[in-house]
Amino acid sequence: MRYFIHLAYFGKNYHGWQKQPNALSVQEEIENKLSILLKKPVETIGCGRTDTGVHAKQFYLHVDLDQAIDAEIVCFKLNAMLPKDISIFEVFEVENSLHARFSAISRQYEYWISTKPNPFAVEQSLLYTKPLDIDAMNAAANLLLSHTDFECFSKVKTDVKTFICKISYAQWELKPNNFLVFTIEADRFLRNMVRAIVGTLLDIGNGKLSLIDFEQILKNKNRSEAGMSAEARGLFLSKVTYPFQK
């Protein structure tokens, strides 16, 4: 039997989602608590990876079990056992063919910037107080929709087989309380891709790069020509979409 777990986490204290030696991860925390709760070793598959310090407003994992569970009770008890920076919203049974990672049809990220100092947003946004040309940043963001190869924004020495991604939405928007938010949605993302895009778009906004420069960076497929990666603290995995949600 396959179960999906819908959750969210605040990433400050974790080295990303995925288990790794000698570093605390969200996956490790959940698997440890699930194994205690179910009294047997449990392995999970997540909908994707998030880097160290990155947050998730919405995340899904799946777990295969050899017998049925009371999903509501497991959800309640798991929340009681986990640290307060990980929250379980729902546990539900799905068809065995549904895969947390490979069945997802799109993913959405948000990058939050505070344009003025805010003590309540220190760990969940980038403080950037310099003036920005948001129209130019959105013009550059719109160019992303006409490209599919994003090697220029990928982490160097990654093990992916392709750099092809289909971006369906990319937009900057001013929010109340002095926040500037970048939202981007695609069928898949490369490692470090969103943070690299944000850093490069900030260079557009502060005049370091032009739209012509941005187009050339996309064509040249060279990570060293793009901007610095924005800090992890401002990045959120905000939405994961599956066929059963449409």
Alpha carbons 64 and 66: distance in angstroms, whole number: 7
- CA nearest 26: which of 8, 6, 41, 42? 8
E-only strand ranges, 1-152: 2-9, 44-46, 55-64, 86-94, 106-114, 126-127
**Cα distances (angstroms) measured from residue 213 to each of 169, 216, 246:** 21, 5, 38
- Residue whose entry in the numeric block shows the structure tokens 């449990």: 42
Verify whether residue 51 is a known catalytic residue. Answer: yes
Residue 238: how many other CB atoms lie within 10 Å: 19
Choose the catalytic residue: 51, 70, 85, 133.
51
CA angle 68, 70, 72 (to 5 degrees): 145
Residues that are catalytic: 51
